[in-house]
Amino acid sequence: MKKFFRKPYRYAAVFSGILAACITLTLLDAYVFPKSYAVVPDDSGGYSTNQTFATKSTETATLATEPVTTEIKTGSISTDIDTDTGTGSTESASSTTTAIATTAAKTTASANADFPKVYSDNDIQITISKIHEYNTDIYIADVKLSSLEYLKTAFAKNTYGKGVTQTTTKMSAAHNALFAVSGDYYGFDNAGTVLRNGTLYRDTAGYYSSLSINYDGTFSFLPTGADYANSWQVLNFGPILIENGKICVEKAINGNKKDISGANPRCAVGIIEPLHYVFVVADGRTTASKGLKIYDLAEVFANLGATAAFNLDGGGSATMVFNGKLVNKPTTDGSKIAERAISDSIYIGYE
């Protein structure tokens, strides 16, 4: 050993190797090795007992004591659209649903043969349409609920942690979700508040404001360390897209956030009114679908009549699932269509 170290620079080589190994281990520990911080119990609905969910009773959406199983249908059950003229009529759909369907009719019937996709029972109404705007395939889910309790979030493998991942499709299946989209990928780093299904897991500074989905069914945008007493879900990533009914693309408020303004796959959520939500997922990074710039995404929500909207994790993470099946065509680099394993999702369902 002494002879080994008599040679010039061998000390430096050994210490360089040790340093490289330490750096590699640190990076693997931070970004690759999964860390489980908490396993969510099967009966988790850890919301405060002194909070009540917003509910709405109408002729088409009344609170039922047991979920009503309805066959998933392909085709419009409430809208009759003439795809040649782009006109249509509705019997009971809201003006927003009409606008979505009318916009969808601008594309050819052959391109959208599988849309709209519809689910409806006494408590949950979902209509998914597909449009092609901004040289991009855009999927719009119009969701009406009788109670906020049907809007839930899921952790990958039912575990809160860092580096714990699963595809949106698998998370959806684990919770028998009717509909799901990718979440905010909280497990990628330590930035941002994590409050899910009423339970606060983390409250650290994020790059943008957080989205709070409140017990009364409204949306609000909160800073780190806010009072979360009224929050059912708190999501991060950002930026804010729509606030008070107007386009308002928020600038980063903490540190140097990587520029996300270019055309990319997108996932975002908006609100029309309490218990009436819109989810938008856009494909991108392919010749068939370029992707949306962040301002384009805001315009989509503005055209849908959203009073508030918030950007979620996009890129290769942007995914929409309906009835257990993938709706969009997610891709990381355009070379293949495949779901990315992520840390969380937002879903509509009874479990």
Q: Which amino acid is at 286?
A: T
3-state SS, residue 2:
helix
Phi then psi for residue 6, to 5 deg, are -70, -25
pLDDT of residue 62: 36
Q: Tell me what pLDDT residue 251 has.
A: 72
| pLDDT at residue 9 in the model | 62
Helix (H) or strand (E) holding 5: helix 2-6
H helix count then E strand count, the chain: 5, 23
Helix/strand/coil percentages in the chain, nearest 5 = 20, 30, 50
Identify the pLDDT of residue 233.
98
Q: Could you read off the pLDDT tens digit of each residue along the chain, which spans 351 residues? A: 556 556 566 556 656 667 776 666 665 555 565 666 666 655 444 444 468 898 986 444 333 333 333 343 333 333 333 333 333 333 334 455 555 445 544 444 445 778 999 999 999 999 999 999 999 999 999 999 999 999 999 999 999 999 999 999 999 999 999 999 999 999 988 889 999 999 999 999 888 899 999 999 999 999 888 999 999 999 999 999 999 999 998 876 555 555 677 899 999 999 999 999 999 999 999 999 999 999 999 999 999 999 999 999 999 999 999 999 999 999 999 889 999 999 999 999 999
Residues ≥6 apart with Cβ < 8 Å to 5? 11
* pTM for this prediction: 0.77
